[in-house]
Chains A and B, each alone.
Chain A
């Protein structure tokens, strides 16, 4: 029973490049959350998606960041024109979606983005 899979595990990008982070939720899960964690800090909510829908993107920076969760395939967090301040660990979590408040989140092990 595969858990939440994130890849790549580590990603190095130069300033100005694009970063694409992938998240495959657990089988049967239709809800995906993305969080960002700066070194020595807590997790900051970024975006909550269902298949083909963005439910809440209140935590996403308004520029350069976008997320999608297509009908087929993994969820993608895309960061355009990366800057050093984007260096962080990005975690994806999934849930089955039924009884949102009552369903625990299952997290991946994250993608650690380093911008040089």
Chain B
């Protein structure tokens, strides 16, 4: 399996940037790196994905290491609504295999 490793939990202050790390040392050349987040009592929500180059969208930025063995999801200004579990996922075969994720707490 192409697996990912994330910290169990992180804290951030409101309106500050948050960097959520993910290690994926066994990534293969064709694996995309996807990030999803799950708010309480909701289904996961797509955040961003990329292959090799850094990516930006309205929600976040994704910074991918040159060797692709790690990546970082960047929330530029955390809000209370960003408190969620963030999942870093590599595609495996045709599956999206979720790990335990990082629980982000945002402090007012």
B45-80 CB contacts (< 8 Å) to partner A = 45-46, 49, 51
- Tell which of A41, A42, A56, A108 touches B94, judged by Cβ atoms closer than 8 Å: A56
On whether A35 and B98 interact (CB within 8 A), knowing A100-B91, A101-B30, A102-B32, the answer reads yes
User: B31, B32, B87, B95 — which one has the most chain A CB atoms within 10 A of its CB?
Assistant: B95
- Tell which of B32, B93, B98 touches A56, judged by Cβ atoms closer than 8 Å: B93
- Tell which of A4, A45, A91, A106 touches B95, judged by Cβ atoms closer than 8 Å: A45
Chain A interface residue bracket vs B: 20 to 34
Q: Indicate if B34 sits at the interface (CB-CB under 8 A).
A: yes
Report B86-108 CB contacts with A as 1/0, cut-off 8 Å.
Answer: 01000101111111110000000
**Distance, CA A43 to CA B87, complexed state (A):** 10
Interface of B is mostly: loop
Query: Total contacts A to B, CB within 8 angstroms?
Result: 58
**Distance, CA A37 to CA B94, complexed state (A):** 20
A30-72 CB contacts (< 8 Å) to partner B = 33, 35, 41-45, 48, 55-56, 58
Q: Indicate if A104 sits at the interface (CB-CB under 8 A).
A: yes
- Complex contact B46–A106 (CB within 8 A): yes
Give chain A nearest CB distance to B64 CB in angstroms. 14
- Complex contact A107–B98 (CB within 8 A): no
Residues of the A chain whose Cβ atoms lie less than 8 Å from the Cβ of B85: 42
- Complex contact B44–A107 (CB within 8 A): yes
On whether A104 and B49 interact (CB within 8 A), knowing A41-B100, A91-B44, A110-B43, the answer reads yes
19 pairs, CB–CB < 8 Å, chain A vs chain B: A33-B95, A42-B85, A42-B98, A42-B101, A44-B98, A45-B95, A45-B98, A48-B94, A56-B93, A93-B43, A93-B44, A100-B94, A101-B31, A101-B32, A101-B91, A105-B44, A107-B43, A107-B44, A109-B43
Hey, which bits of chain B sit against chain A, CB under 8 A? Answer: 30-32, 34, 36, 42-46, 49, 51, 85, 87, 91, 93-101
